[in-house]
Each structure stands twice: as C-alpha cells, then as structure tokens.
Amino acid sequence: MNTVSSLLDKEWYERYKRISRLNIRSSIYDVTNQCNLRCRGCFFFSSDEHKAAPEEMDIRKWEAFVDSEKARGVNLAILIGGEPTLYLDRVAAFYKRLPTYCATNGLIKVPRDRFPDMMVGISLWGDEEDEKVLRGKDTFAISSKNYAGDLYTYYLYTITPKQVGRIESIIRRIADAGLKVHLQLLSNDEGVEGFSWTDELLRDIRDEMDIMLDRYPNTVISSKYYHEIITTGQMLGRSFGWNECPSVTEPMDRRKPQPKRLIRFIRWAADLHTMHRCCTSATRDCSICKDGAAHMSWVMVNKRAHLRSAKDLQGWIEVYEMFAKLYRFIPW
Ligand code: SF4
Ligand code: SF4
C-alpha cells in the first residue's frame, strides 16, 4: 500500500509536512443581509438567503457567538454576506478572536489601522464591460485604488464565459496594482443569457488559466490540478455534486453514505441561529455548481484517495497549499 513518505521525495515531503500540521476548521458567517450592490447572479440574493433570518443587531451577542464558535473548534472564520464591511463592529468581533477572512466587493476600504492583517478577498466578475452588465458598476476602478499594494488582499476573480480568451488583461491590471488573484468560475445562478458554460468554453478556460499561472506565478494563487477539477467537475474518476460535496452544513447533512466532508463546518445566517445548507446558494442545482472553495475542499478532504500515485498526491499538496495561502496559514 502506498504511503505519503513512500510516494514523495524529500522536497515534496517537506511541503506535505508544512500543510499537514495546519488542521484547518473553517465555518462561514453571513455578517449582514444587506449589500451596497445587487449583482445579477449573486447566489445570496438569488436564493433569498437574505430573507432566511433577520440580522442580530446586538454586538455583544455577536461577540458571545464568536466565543462559542471558537469553543466549537473553529479556527478560520470566513465572513460573507451581503457586504461585511457595512458592519465593521461585527467584523471586529471575529477578527479579535479568530483568524478571519473577509469577502468584500471592495467598495468600502477595510481600515488597516483597525484590521492590520485581516485577509481580504475582493470579488471581481470580469472586465469593466462585464462588471457593468452584471454588477451595475466597474468595481475594479474603486477597489484597486482602495487596496493597491495591500499585503493581505487578493482578488477573487469569478470568470464568466464571456471572459474566455481575455482574462490576461485583468490579471495584468491586478499585478500592476501589486495584488494577488485567485480564479473561480461563475455558476450563473440567475440564468443571465450568455453567461452559461459549455464543455468547449470550459476546456478553453482551463488552458487559459494554466497559461496565466505559468505567466504570472507571483500574482496568480492557483494550481493546475485545481483548474482541472473546477473545469471538469471530475476528481479521480468521480463527479462533483451533492453526493460528494464536502461543504454541506454538518448538522443538516443527512446524506447516506456520508462522503468525506469538512469537519464541524456550518454556514450561519446573520441571526446567529439559522443555518444555510452549504457554503453557497441554498437553491443551486449541485450538478452545475462551480463554487471554487467547495471544489478545493473536495480535493483537500480526500487525501487518502490521492495516495494512488506521486502525481496525484502532489496535486493534492498543491491544492492544499493554495487554500492555505489564500487564508494566510502559510505565506504566499
Ligand atoms: S457584492 Fe457580493 S453579496 Fe453583494 S450583490 Fe454582489 S455578489 Fe452579492
Ligand atoms: S450548491 Fe455547490 S456547495 Fe452547495 S451543496 Fe451543492 S455542490 Fe455543494
């Protein structure tokens, strides 16, 4: 039987040891039901998750809640919404207690005197043209000014089918702003015409993502194995979907047989009691889900299956490293 040490040379084994110590336990929190944008295709609003529960307004309840999450074993708080920067006191309740990542559209700058090393992920949905169609605004023009050169910020670039063949200009602009970028694919939750994937487009974008990683290794935080997984939905001959998804809220997960999954993962609504089904849209058809974090986690929780060969295990290590970099468990 293959073991980790039998498959890896010294250098890869050192890389493996560095990540195997991390033991990341994440959960996701809706900081608010409000947003200063209304993007077409936003999973949160399109699935009415903003109506699932009212917001808790008492900051002391947020603080006590984060303490209880920490006691539950969470060591990475992923803040989403709505737009978390609308409620910085709630963000601070997490940041003071836990390693915290804040997803944002970047229109409001997180004050670095208050949150000096909090990881910030800025959502970006394409170039100026696509952003105006889907989000009503060229957000990059604002967010890149707010965060240029920030050491704890990266762009989460959601590539749309219309971007195929032209993602380089955006990646170059991000590099020029002194920032990093991670790539994922639009799931088109609201069925906007012209924004759905075909097999051919997925093949093309996979090649393009690989080229970008080779061309901008200091800017693109990614791995070719991740590109393969996210564009094909296949891992070691298995298909991504409900039966395999690792990012289902644990107390709501009654799947049988139980797949490998994120331990103790919960996605909480902003009332601090209600739970959502998974890390993304509660109403999304899992067979078309392109959620980047869910695909990354799918690889990460399936280490044993990657002991098939050195190449498979190295792919696993690269995806794990990518995740750890994105949440600053290891340096870029
Ligand atoms: S900025 Fe984010 S939360 Fe707000 S509408 Fe757009 S996708 Fe949704
Ligand atoms: S929508 Fe995506 S993340 Fe949610 S359960 Fe389905 S596959 Fe998993």
Tell me the ligand closest to 124's alpha carbon: 1
How many C-beta atoms surround the C-beta of residue 164 within 10 A?
Answer: 18
Confidence (pLDDT) at 1: 82
- Residue-wise pLDDT for 113-143, tens only, equals 999 999 999 999 999 988 999 999 999 999 9
Instruction: Tell the residue number behind the tokens 């005197």, with chain if given.
Output: 113
Tell me the ligand closest to 36's alpha carbon: 1
Confidence (pLDDT) at 192: 84
Whether 242 contacts 255, CB under 8 Å: yes
Closest residue CA from atom 7 of ligand 2: 286
Is the Cβ atom of 105 under 6 angstroms away from ligand 1?
yes
Q: Which residue from 30, 33, 35, 158 has its CB within 8 A of the most atoms of ligand 1, so it is best to mutate? A: 35
- Residue-wise pLDDT for 137-162, tens only, equals 999 999 999 999 999 999 999 999 99
Residue among 185, 191, 292, 302 nearest 237 (CA): 302
Strand order in the sheet with 153-159: 180-185, 153-159, 119-124, 100-104, 76-80, 26-30, 267-268, 275-276
Residue among 325, 134, 297, 136 nearest 230 (CA): 297
Query: What are the contacts of 199-207 at 24+ separation with CB within 8 A?
Result: 201/161, 201/164, 202/231, 202/232, 203/231, 204/164, 204/165, 205/159, 205/161, 205/163, 205/164, 205/167, 205/231, 206/231, 206/232
Is the Cβ atom of 44 under 6 angstroms away from ligand 1?
yes
Whether 148 contacts 178, CB under 8 Å: yes
Confidence (pLDDT) at 56: 98
Is the Cβ atom of 245 under 6 angstroms away from ligand 2?
yes
Full set of structural domains in the chain with CATH: 26-307 (3.20.20)
- Low-confidence stretches of the chain (pLDDT < 50) are none
Confidence (pLDDT) at 183: 98
Confidence (pLDDT) at 289: 94
Confidence (pLDDT) at 195: 87
pTM score over 0.75: yes
Measure the CA–CA gap between 92 and 77, rounded to whole angstroms: 12
Residue among 292, 328, 265 nearest 95 (CA): 328
Closest residue CA from atom 6 of ligand 1: 39
Max Cα distance, the chain (Å): 55
Closest residue CA from atom 8 of ligand 1: 42
Nearest ligand 2 atom, CA 285:
1
Is the Cβ atom of 83 under 6 angstroms away from ligand 1?
yes
